[in-house]
Amino acid sequence: MYNTIHKIGGNNMFYKIIRPIARFIVWVLNGHLHVHHKDRIPKGNYILVAPHRTWWEPILFALAASPMEFMFMAKKELFKNPVLRFILVHAHAFSVDRDNPGPSAIKIPVKGLRKSDLSLIIFPSGTRHSEELKSGAFVIAKMANKPLVPVVYQGPLTFKGLLKRQPLEVCFGDPIYIPRKEKVNKETTPALYQQLEDAWDKLDKEQNPSFHYIAK
């Protein structure tokens, strides 16, 4: 299993090389990446949380929040391909079994946030089409003592729309801090979910009230 923490935050050279390449590809394909309210991002590392709307969002978020570097979760099946595994590992990814996540899904990002300068990108809804928020982001934030930074993407939801050069909008929100004394359990997570959903809704309305996400 390629999820040991020594892979996280090790040699950052690959990440530094791949990021400008990704930025160039996005510019060639679309050329209209607009970043809003980057000044809201706190100092130090943090957990970037977003509703999952497209498969290219993690790339846009990582570019928008540059120079911060991010670790992220990837399903274990992606690590079976040796070439893809090399790219993922050196891009600070760690594998997660979506059917049976296990303790490592929490321990690895917590240790990475504590022991390195990396931030974390996470989609609390789990998958693009899932409506059920999971508590993982809140548990990680609590254990690592790091803020959650809400972010939303507005723009084309299909690759065809991307190629038509429709604007790509990334909007950052104010950080959400979980107090040290606050518990994260079945009783408290509904309020945390609502706070996060309210933050996303506020960002969507702030950026473009006419934008409405429809799962494809």
Other C-beta atoms closer than 10 Å to the C-beta of 37 total 15
pTM: 0.85
Percent of the chain with pLDDT strictly greater than 90:
46
Domains of the chain: 13-206 (3.40.1130.10)
pLDDT score for 131 = 41
For the segment 86-108, the average pLDDT, to the nearest whole number, is: 79
Core vs surface per residue 142-165: b (16+ CB within 10 A) or e = bbbebbbbbbbbbbbbeeeebeee
pLDDT score for 40 = 97
pLDDT score for 9 = 52
Length of the chain: 216
Strand order in the sheet with 93-96: 33-36, 168-172, 148-154, 47-49, 119-122, 70-75, 93-96
Residue 153, pLDDT > 80, answer yes
Q: pLDDT-based confidence at 72, cuts 50/70/90?
A: confident
Other C-beta atoms closer than 10 Å to the C-beta of 167 total 13
